[in-house]
């Protein structure tokens, strides 16, 4: 649903419990009790609908008779009655509803139909829904416990959203023991309306939430989810436990939630692309929750391990090693300080073994020295029961010391009865505690991974040394001709013609139906050649002896043709044989790769890169990526494979041209972006010889599609339809286009053209340069959420940016905030009007209704400029700022299309 506002659900002033009855043990009464016991201070209205006799009247009348409109309705009635209750809520102006009722799509077709009816009514009436089949929701700030959970968690900055009510109650119960607080606790259920994308958006904009935990069984509206997660993960860590890793688990998850499940490896890929941390178990989810809820995130991987027992220190070191990390080295200054403090036989290394007789003073002084050394990003304290050490005084001292530390200090105090009291002291002091060193290390590593994800998300991609060109029209015509005949597999020659049109290097390939034809074509191509079987019924040609290589003469071709026909008939007597492909043979390749794409049922096209050749399935060395790809994303795909090390050069084999491989992956990406009818694309092998890649075997499978290009993707691609050629007022040619990730250098150069006044007016502060994080935020945008156009000099071969304008849309899709920046030398030439005008025109076409922006009061030129485009200024007397607003439903930008240079 396009309606975004969830405030009336999570911050209601009045709640109606529909299903509360005179029966003491009813579900509705339990919900009433939880609301009251939680301390909710708003109005609570119990409603007992009697649909058997008076359809809906009691519900509607009760809500209408309330002193003010009901913000939230909690529905706990049989699901067959919910559709009518939704009608009542809409008629009464209710803000939103939580549907506790089960019996929806998880039960089969009848339940699915009921949910569909509920969804259609809610959408038409603008009513937001959580559920059905859910436990309910909790907001600790407003003391709202609209759930089955009888106990209210303590306040905190961690939000938890789960499809499983059972997981909710388990995590909630554990949180009481470990003293973990939450801002929100949400059982999202079957997601007939509010889904994970909505919740990420909502919590991302909630100042009381600093991190988000998700338990996911399946995703709906995946493009919205990816868009929300990519935006929010830059400012708040998101940790996901996604069930259904195994095939049996995926089936169980599907039957539980009534939805289809995609391949688990694709979920991994999507989560990484979105900057999400994925954990594998409930224990890991809870361990991450404890670290996130109680400490600041680590800024790096440098960990100090302080232990009073050597063995657990070794276990912690091994656990780090399993993740490719090691304890941080001790500086010379820290070592000398520890020499002065610790007994002669301390470890003199990290882990810092302070020995079994360590008392409170030794323990705490070591912690302080490590903290003061500036050498670490976290400290793990390990304690085991020792005769000379009383854990409780140490815990009390650590609790007092750790309150204001700049990085995580966490504990693995191993033991049972002797450690219980001390661990309780640590939990009370908000120090994360773990039963084993391995669990402590795993939680730390997950948080380190989040920091690395942030670095990758903000890394500035470089440009390729040359622009990639594609013959879109040729491929369109080829596919259209084939689809008229039949969907399905193209021949190898047809497949390679399409690949070649998109600049993917292929070897010369022709088709031959007879032995004589094969010899003739081999002579034209030139020896040596290769012959390969063509049959839609035999996927793996090698298994049918359908591949013959390095054929040096006419006789060799004749012999190979006969053997291919015999082998195919023996392998599958019923197979349809179309002939053979005759190909240029490239001898002794340095490397063989697999590159391709396959359409996933949930995520659309997925790019594949890995080790190729006949051992592809055995080696299982592959990496996945989601289009669209940039050079940086293509490089990361390759780096995630074992074959990447070989491609750097091995023994006497030369290294591969990595930029050529990046370009090849980007060309494959663009091909499946442009043509959603490509269901499978397989190039195996892509051989690399003398550094350069070339596809020597390829096939493409087509299928009928309903959606046009770009809508089949879960990440919005570059919108080339927003490219325009314009002229400035003085006749200069300019090129207006959407911003690209690789435009960061252009931004740096534009910034140099700004006066200090222009900088202050745009950024509301004095700045000498743009930080890398800011550059990434300006250039690495989500085209679904932002409209950002830049103006370039169209008369120069070297790109030069004159300015940029953008609108960042709110998640409701109805409003957005604008900004504009034009370099000082180009003020007064009409660039700003054309640039912002085009942005507003696109916003209007996207059904955005309102756009606003904040301007400093003294920026009179910007205020006057806004008026010329139709903005209305409103003063904010408290802040000394002016807000410019425009109603796009009434705005007219037809003047832009009257320019003959536009297009």
DSSP type of residue 800: -
Please give the pLDDT value at position 903. Answer: 37
Residue 412 backbone dihedrals phi, psi, to 5 degrees: -125, 90
Mean pLDDT by 10 residues, the chain (903 residues): 72 89 70 92 80 42 64 92 91 92 90 94 94 95 93 93 91 89 95 96 93 93 94 92 70 44 81 93 91 89 95 96 95 95 93 93 95 93 89 94 84 91 93 95 93 78 85 94 80 93 95 95 96 89 92 96 95 93 92 94 94 81 94 93 93 93 97 95 94 94 82 93 92 94 93 92 86 88 95 90 95 90 94 95 95 93 93 80 94 72 38
Please give the pLDDT value at position 381. Answer: 97
d(CA 104, CA 85): 16
Please give the pLDDT value at position 65. Answer: 59
Please give the pLDDT value at position 259. Answer: 44
Strands 96-99 and 144-147, how do they pair? unpaired
d(CA 149, CA 147): 5
Structure tokens at 513: 């139906």
Cβ neighbours of residue 858 under 8 Å, at least 6 residues apart?
none
Secondary structure, 3-state, 335-358: HHHHHHHCCCCCCCCCCEECCCCC
Q: What is the Cβ-side half-sphere exposure of residue 428, based on CA atoms within 13 angstroms?
A: 13
Give the C-alpha distances (Å, rounded to integers) separating 150 from 27, 172, 568: 12, 10, 68
Please give the pLDDT value at position 849. Answer: 95
Q: What is the Cβ-side half-sphere exposure of residue 627, based on CA atoms within 13 angstroms?
A: 30
Give residue 297's Cα distance to chain centre.
Answer: 20
- Planar angle of CA 214, 215, 221, nearest 5 degrees: 75
Closest by CA to 450, choosing from 321, 297, 319, 323, is: 297
d(CA 785, CA 716): 9
Task: Annotate 295-320 with DSSP letters as a single string.
Answer: SPPPSSS-EEEEESSHHHHHHHHHHH
Please give the pLDDT value at position 451. Answer: 84
Q: Write b or e for each residue in 476-489: b if 16 or more Cβ atoms lie within 10 A of its Cβ, otherwise e.
A: eebbeebeeeeeeb
């Amino acid at each position: 649903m396009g309606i975004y506002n969830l405030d009336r659900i999570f911050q209601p002033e009045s709640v109606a419990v529909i299903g509360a009855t005179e029966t003491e043990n009813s579900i509705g009464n339990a919900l009433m009790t939880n609301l009251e016991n939680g301390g909710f201070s708003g109005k609570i209205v119990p409603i007992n609908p009697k649909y058997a006799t008076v359809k809906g009247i009691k519900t509607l009348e009760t809500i209408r008779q309330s002193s003010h409109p009901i913000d939230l309705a909690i529905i706990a009635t049989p699901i067959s009655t919910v559709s009518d209750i939704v009608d009542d809520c809409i008629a009464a102006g209710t803000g939103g509803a939580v549907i506790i009722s089960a019996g929806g799509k998880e039960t089969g077709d009848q339940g699915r139909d009921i949910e569909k009816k509920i969804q259609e009514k809610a959408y038409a009436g603008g009513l937001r829904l959580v559920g059905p089949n859910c436990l309910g929701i909790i907001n600790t700030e407003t003391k709202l416990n609209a759930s089955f959970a009888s106990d209210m968690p303590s306040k905190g900055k961690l939000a938890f959203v789960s499809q499983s009510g059972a997981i909710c109650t388990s995590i909630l119960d554990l949180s009481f023991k470990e003293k973990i607080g939450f801002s929100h606790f949400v059982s999202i259920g079957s997601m007939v309306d509010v889904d994970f994308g909505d919740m990420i958006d909502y919590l991302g904009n909630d100042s009381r939430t600093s991190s988000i935990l998700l338990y996911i069984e399946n995703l709906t509206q995946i493009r919205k989810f990816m868009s929300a997660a990519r935006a929010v993960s830059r400012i708040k860590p998101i940790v996901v436990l996604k069930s259904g890793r195994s095939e049996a688990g995926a089936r169980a998850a599907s039957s539980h939630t009534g939805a289809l499940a995609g391949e688990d490896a694709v979920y991994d890929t999507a989560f990484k692309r979105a900057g999400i941390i994925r954990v594998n178990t409930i224990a890991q989810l809870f361990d991450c929750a404890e670290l996130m809820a109680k400490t600041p995130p680590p800024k790096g991987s440098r960990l100090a391990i302080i232990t009073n027992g050597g063995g657990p220190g070794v276990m912690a070191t091994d656990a780090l090693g399993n993740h490719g990390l090691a304890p941080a080295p001790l500086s010379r200054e820290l070592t000398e300080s520890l020499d002065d403090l610790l007994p002669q036989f301390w470890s003199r290394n990290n882990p810092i073994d302070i020995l079994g007789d360590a008392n409170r003073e030794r323990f705490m002084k070591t912690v302080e020295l490590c903290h003061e050394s500036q050498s670490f990003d976290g400290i793990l304290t390990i304690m085991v029961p020792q005769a000379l050490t009383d854990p409780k005084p140490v815990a009390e001292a650590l609790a007092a010391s750790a309150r204001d530390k700049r990085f995580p200090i966490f504990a693995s105090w191993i033991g049972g009865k002797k450690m219980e009291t001390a661990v309780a002291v640590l939990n009370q002091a908000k120090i994360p505690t773990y039963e084993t060193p391995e669990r402590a290390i795993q939680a730390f590593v997950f948080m380190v991974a989040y920091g690395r994800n942030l670095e990758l998300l903000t890394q500035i991609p470089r440009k390729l040394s040359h622009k990639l060109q594609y013959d879109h029209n040729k491929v369109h015509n080829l596919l259209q001709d084939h689809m008229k005949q039949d969907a399905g597999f193209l021949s190898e020659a047809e497949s390679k013609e399409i690949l070649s049109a998109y600049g993917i290097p292929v070897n010369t390939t022709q088709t031959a139906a007879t032995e004589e034809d094969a010899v003739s074509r081999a002579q034209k191509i030139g020896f040596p050649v290769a012959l390969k079987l063509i049959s839609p019924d035999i996927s793996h040609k090698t298994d049918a002896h359908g591949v013959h290589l390095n054929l040096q003469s006419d006789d060799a071709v004749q012999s190979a043709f006969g053997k291919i026909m015999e082998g195919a008939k023996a392998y599958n007597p019923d197979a349809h044989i179309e002939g053979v492909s005759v190909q240029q043979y490239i001898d002794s390749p340095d490397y063989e790769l697999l590159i391709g794409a396959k359409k996933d049922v949930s995520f659309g096209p997925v790019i594949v890169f890995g080790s190729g050749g006949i051992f592809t399935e055995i080696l299982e060395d592959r990496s996945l990526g989601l289009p669209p790809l940039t050079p940086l994303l293509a490089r990361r795909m390759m780096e995630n494979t074992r074959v990447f090390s070989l491609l750097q050069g091995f023994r006497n084999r030369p290294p591969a041209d990595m930029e050529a491989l990046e370009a090849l992956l980007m060309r494959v990406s663009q091909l499946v972006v442009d043509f959603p009818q490509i269901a499978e694309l397989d190039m195996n092998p892509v051989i690399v010889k003398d550094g350069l890649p070339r596809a020597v075997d390829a096939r493409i499978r087509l299928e009928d599609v309903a959606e046009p290009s770009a809508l089949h993707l879960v990440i919005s691609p570059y919108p080339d339809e927003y490219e325009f050629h314009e002229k400035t007022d003085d006749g200069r040619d300019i090129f207006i286009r959407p911003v690209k990730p690789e435009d960061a250098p252009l931004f740096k150069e534009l910034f140099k053209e700004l006066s200090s006044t222009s900088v202050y007016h745009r950024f509301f502060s004095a700045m000498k340069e743009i930080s890398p994080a800011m550059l990434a935020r300006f250039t690495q945008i989500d085209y679904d959420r932002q409209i950002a156009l830049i103006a370039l000099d169209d008369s120069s071969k070297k790109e030069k940016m004159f300015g940029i304008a953008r609108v960042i849309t709110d998640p409701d899709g109805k409003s957005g905030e604008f900004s504009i920046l034009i370099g000082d030398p180009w003020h007064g030439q009409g660039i700003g009007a054309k640039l912002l005008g085009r942005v507003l025109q696109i916003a209007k076409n996207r059904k955005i209704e309102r756009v606003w922006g904040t301007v400093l009061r003294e920026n009179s030129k910007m205020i006057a400029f806004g008026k010329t485009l139709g903005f209305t200024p409103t003063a904010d007397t408290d802040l000394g700022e002016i807000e410019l607003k425009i109603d796009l439903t009434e705005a007219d930008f037809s003047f832009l299309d009257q320019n003959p240079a536009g297009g």
